Amino acid sequence: MKPGKKGKSRGRKHSKPKPQTHTVPSVKGSRVISATEAARSFSELLDRVCYRGETFVIERGGEPVCEMSPVTPLRFTGADFLTLLHSLPKPDPGYWDAVEDRTKQTPAVPESPWGS
């Protein structure tokens, strides 16, 4: 290699620069990152969201566009189910007659050849 020219050195790993972020005044303490930086470091951002629980607001042209944050598990209790059932419209009288007719037409399950 000629003096004064830089070449790749063996054994040294070059790390990507950390994405440029700044804290946004919010309840979550989100960090703001440009869409360009988010695209360049998407895998790292996913790791930070997944393993550290960090939240990012992604901007385009200086305006917030979306938020990248950990997903909270959906919680749906039995009480929620009952509330949903009670909120549905009541079926008309003909509905129950149709259900009864259909269940009468359903063939019986054959007996098991292996016994009980």
**Cross-sheet strand order for the sheet of 63-68:** 22-23, 31-34, 56-60, 63-68
What local confidence, expressed as pLDDT, does residue 15 receive?
A: 60
Angle at 73 between CA 54 and CA 76, to 5 degrees: 155
Q: CA 54, CA 45: separation in Å to the nearest integer?
A: 9
Provide the residue-wise pLDDT of the chain in tens; the chain has 116 residues: 455 555 555 555 556 556 565 544 444 578 999 999 999 999 999 999 999 999 999 999 999 999 999 998 888 899 999 999 899 998 888 998 898 888 888 778 888 888 76
Q: Domains of the chain by range and CATH?
A: 22-68 (3.40.1620.10)
What local confidence, expressed as pLDDT, does residue 27 receive?
A: 41
Instruction: Mention every residue, 6+ apart, whose C-beta is less than 8 A from residue 65.
Output: 35, 58, 59
**Beta strand pairing status for 63-68 and 31-34?**
unpaired
Q: CA 58, CA 87: separation in Å to the nearest integer?
A: 38
What local confidence, expressed as pLDDT, does residue 39 receive?
A: 95
What local confidence, expressed as pLDDT, does residue 29 receive?
A: 73
What local confidence, expressed as pLDDT, does residue 34 receive?
A: 94
What local confidence, expressed as pLDDT, does residue 5 receive?
A: 52
Q: CA 30, CA 59: separation in Å to the nearest integer?
A: 12
